[in-house]
Amino acid sequence: MTSSAKFGLRAKDHDSYLKLVISFPLKSIESDEHLEAAGQVIDNLLAQDRLDHGGQMDLDALSDLVAAYEEKHHAIPPASDAEMLRHLLDMKGVTQADVSRETKLPKSTLSEILAGKKPFSRQVIRALADYFQVDTSLLTANF
């Protein structure tokens, strides 16, 4: 199988893909106005009950272009350790005392993290990841 056949369009989806690309060409996003227009196209595609392969390919490519622009021009810094811990507490509906009791982490350590006075340590990351059942990578953005 040639690479063009492997990664290309199926004949039945060719027309829908070309129609989408003609109406909104797939090219690097150049401005916030262009970003907004791309977002509207994405919203319209997502609102459809069902996309054919051509529509899905267009959506995927356009989403990648939007992500690249946003990463370069509107990057969101990682959450602080305090913000991450606060979010996890809220999402699970538990208190610092609950976490301390279940993880055997000192209450003072959790308080210092929440106050922004202390970052996560490897031991804290492992204990919190296990307790909240999240991947450790979620807690290592600032490590």
- Of the given ranges (12-26, 51-65, 110-124), which has the lowest mean pLDDT? 12-26
pTM for the model: 0.58
Has residue 52 got a pLDDT over 60? yes
Binning pLDDT at 50, 70 and 90, where does residue 7 land? Answer: low
CATH 1.10.260.40 fits 81-139, yes or no: yes
Domain range summary for the chain, segments of one domain joined by +: 3-73, 81-139
Cα 117 versus chain centre, distance: 27
Average pLDDT of the chain is: 91
How much is the CA Rg of the chain, to the nearest whole Å? 22
Dmax (CA) for the chain in angstroms is: 64
**What average pLDDT does range 94-122 have in this prediction?**
96
